[in-house]
Amino acid sequence: MSEQLGTLEELPQDYRDAMSKAGVAPLWPMMRNVLPHDAPNPVTRPGHWAFKDLRPLLIRAGELTPVEKAERRVLVLSDPGRGTGAMQATSSIYTGMQLLLPGETAPAHRHTPSAARIIVEGKGGYTVVEGEKLPMEEGDLVLTPGGEWHDHGHDGDEPVIWLDALDLPLFVYLEGSYAEEAELQAQRNRPDSSQVEYLAAGLAPSRKKNAIKKRYPMMRFPWSRTEAALRQLAKYGDDAIAEVDFVNPETGDYVLPTMGFTAMMFASGQSETPPLRSSSAVYHVVKGSGETTIDCTKITWGPKDTFSAHVFSKITHKANEEAFLVRVHDKPLQEKLGYYEERQR
């Protein structure tokens, strides 16, 4: 272990002034801020966004701001550690709750960050990605990867609300975040790929020798199938909670380059204490209620709530009733950088 490092105040004032004039600074007084020993010292703090509080605000936003003036009518879920207005829920994950009213359309655009939506409430909404119309039903996971044209529409008669998750903080940090706009896309006259090419697990269309594989072959993961898979795992699995990862059906890789999505099922009264993970996470409650303790913060969650956990946090989940959650995490990014880690408690 290194000795206590020197401070800036220990240096003579004339030396400090000379460094400032030269545009340099000493590393040693700042080293422990960026390289703490043994584990990171995160700014992120556990957040909890109760849907019962957000829904009235979203509905009023629909009354106050036409979608034409908003482009995307979203309430951003800000990390408590960074304060209200922070465009991130964790260090690398942005989340926001979006509203689309009957008859509205959100214009087509594409952007460098990748996005996914978890549908929270309502029927009749849809997303069009590169011409493929994706129905948006409660619990569905819908992808809009970076660089793919997408727009939203609503053919139903009640508000549609979904949770957006993007790797936006990463692109903002890299100064690579931008978007382009276009007219609404022409829609293909056929169901989406989840209803045609990838209707069953383990099956994919036969490919010709020189066929070009799509990087993102499946954009919609229907919740009905996810829940059925979780129930089967829970029925025949061990005492651990049932979990499934959303994957690319052609490759088995994560569905997006920097974000992963994991669906979880808890039986009534079931609890889990996962290992300490180097990844941060945002949890969305599809159904059910329970309690989660993140370090010393206790969160009591209910249906459609969202909460977050920082890196290497001590987490304990307990379901008060049968519950289904989706965990959004940055494990894919960390694995690409070669430092993802789990530690036993």
Give me the pLDDT at residue 57, please.
Answer: 98
| Phi, psi (rounded to 5 degrees) for 100 | -130, 130
- CA distance linking residue 228 with residue 222, whole number of Å: 10
**What residue type is 205 in one-letter code?**
P
Mean pLDDT of all residues in 212-229: 94
Strand order in the sheet with 150-154: 132-135, 125-129, 150-154, 105-111, 179-182
- CA distance linking residue 192 with residue 249, whole number of Å: 14
Residues near 140 by Cβ (< 8 Å), separated by ≥ 6?
A: 117, 118, 119, 220, 221, 222, 223
Task: Judge whether 152 and 107 are in contact, CB under 8 Å.
Answer: no
Q: Tell me the per-residue pLDDT of 287-323, one tens digit each, with 9 for 90 and over.
A: 999 999 999 999 999 999 999 999 999 999 999 999 9
Three-state DSSP at 81 gives: coil
Query: Where do the structural domains in the chain lie, given as residue ranges?
Result: 48-343
Q: Tokens in use for 317? A: 């989940």
Domain boundaries 48-343, corresponding CATH code? 2.60.120.10
Stated pTM of the model: 0.95
Angle, alpha carbons 53-58-59 (nearest 5°): 105
Angle, alpha carbons 96-98-104 (nearest 5°): 160
Angstrom CA distances, 25 to 19, 28, 30, 239, stand at 6, 9, 9, 54
Looking at the chain, the whole-number percentage of residues with pLDDT higher than 90 is 89
pLDDT at 2 over 70: no
Closest CA to 138 of 242, 245, 51, 266: 51
Give me the pLDDT at residue 221, please.
Answer: 97
